[in-house]
Amino acid sequence: MIKHLNDIQDLSSDQIEQLITLAEDMMTDRAKYQSALAHRTLATLFFEPSTRTRLSFEAAMLELGGNVIGFADPNSSSATKGESVADTIRTVACYSDIIVMRHPKEGAPIAASLRSPVPIINAGDGGHHHPTQTLADLFTIRREKGRFEGLTVGLCGDLKFGRTVHSLIHAMARYEGVRFALISPQELRTPDYILEGLRARPNVSYEETDSLESVIPRLDILYMTRVQRERFFNEADYVRLKDSYILTLKTLADAKDSLTILHPLPRVNEIAVEVDDDPRACYFKQMYYGKVIRKALLATMLGVAL
Ligand code: NCD
């Protein structure tokens, strides 16, 4: 039973496997699940912009026969009148069976879960975590590679503020023999609290570098990320760092044919559009898998016997 999902660490490896198995069955036999969540309501509370996360959750709920309410713009909610997150949650819990929430403040979903009688799913809290993006990433890796163990995973871009990277590192560090290449400018290195977690795992190794070219030949997965403009304190720093890495077909010339290129999206400049037609580009498939694994998550968290 998954009560709330704040951090990917809230899920055991067995629970991740069960979600993947259910998602695969949902993909094979979509009709079987079309009324699984009939008469249940999902509320999506997005205090920060979103396209994929919110719409994939909504599509997931609708495909399971459920209902959706919510807001995509906090300016249209009572947050602008000064209402606390706790009060908003207690209210919305009267109208829904499960709540998906994105918030600019780190820890807001935990605060919400403490006051919520219904399950809360963290859809991204500031520069902290994004566990359901990680489920999408894991599901894609499993579909593409057939395994998690023994992979060399390059994470490139804004490793400081990129919440998807933090959650993915936590998740992949569980698997035997995973090697991380953490590729970023000096100013956007992976936070220490994430590295500490890695150092505590003798089964994995990591290296930090600012050179994508030097590590790309060894990678099985390349996870590109956007420089997170909204988390910068000044625009000049963002402008200086935003184009630190741009993946092109030329950069990919030295990569393995079996490389899997991922990106949580949205992309700005960090992957040239010419890469989209390369068979190694998997970021749009990743969006599709994200919807399917969110279906599995909603059905599981709502405790529906399937
Ligand atoms: C990511 C996020 O919101 O953290 N987007 C997403 O949910 N797919 C990545 C990003 O915004 O750069």
Tens of pLDDT, residue by residue over 208-241, are 999 999 999 999 999 999 999 999 989 999 999 9
Strand order in the sheet with 120-125: 67-71, 41-46, 98-103, 120-125
Query: Can you give the length of the chain in residues?
Result: 306
Domain spans in the chain, listed from the N-terminal domain onward: 8-129+289-301, 131-287
User: Whole-prediction pTM value?
Assistant: 0.97
Active site residue 291: no
Distance of CA 266 from the midpoint of ligand 1 (Å)? 6
pLDDT in the model for residue 79:
84
Of the candidates 4, 40, 54, 102, the residue annotated as catalytic is 102
For the chain, percent of residues with pLDDT exceeding 90: 94
pLDDT at 196: 95
Annotation: CATH topology of 131-287: Rossmann fold (3.40.50)
Ligand 1 pocket mutation pick from 265, 268, 269, 291 by most atoms within 8 angstroms of CB? 265
Q: What residue's CA is closest to ligand 1, atom 3? A: 124
Q: Which one is catalytic: 53, 132, 152, 164? A: 53
pLDDT of residue 306 exceeding 70, the answer is no
List the end-to-end C-alpha distance of the chain, in Å, as a whole number.
Answer: 14
Query: 52 catalytic, yes or no?
Result: yes
* CA-wise closest residue to 46 among 62, 68, 66: 68
Q: Residue 263: CB within 6 Å of ligand 1?
A: no
Confidence of residue 243 (pLDDT cuts 50, 70, 90): very high
Ligand 1 atom, smallest distance to 48 CA:
3
Round to whole Å and give the CA distance between 260 and 155.
12
Residue with the two structure tokens 């799913």: 121
What is the pLDDT at residue 34? Answer: 96
Whether 8-129+289-301 and 131-287 share one fold: the answer is yes
Q: What's the rounded mean pLDDT across residues 113-122?
A: 96
Q: What share of the chain is helix, strand, coil (3-state, %, to 5)?
A: 45, 15, 40
In this prediction, residue 305 has a pLDDT band, given cuts at 50, 70 and 90, of low
Mean pLDDT, range 148-152, rounded to an integer: 98
How many H helices and E strands in the chain? Answer: 11, 9
CATH number of 8-129+289-301, picked from 3.40.50.1370, 3.30.565.10, 3.30.530.20, 2.40.50.140: 3.40.50.1370
Task: Tell me: pLDDT of 182 over 80.
Answer: yes
pLDDT of residue 77: 86
* Any atom of ligand 1 within 6 Å of the Cβ of 160: no
Task: Write the pLDDT tens digit of every residue in 20-79.
Answer: 999 999 999 999 999 999 999 999 999 999 999 999 999 999 999 999 999 998 888 888
Mean pLDDT of the chain: 96
Determine the atom of ligand 1 nearest the C-alpha atom of 53. Answer: 7
Structure confidence at residue 303 (pLDDT): 84
Q: Which amino acid is at 46?
A: F
Residue 3 bears catalytic tag = no
pLDDT at 242: 95
Ligand 1 binding pocket includes 286 (Cβ within 6 Å): no
Buried b (16+ CB within 10 A) or exposed e, 108-128: bbebbbeebebbbbbbbbbbb
170 is catalytic: no
280 belongs to the catalytic site:
no
Residues 281-299, buried b or exposed e (16+ Cβ, 10 A)? bbbeebbebbbbbbbbbbb
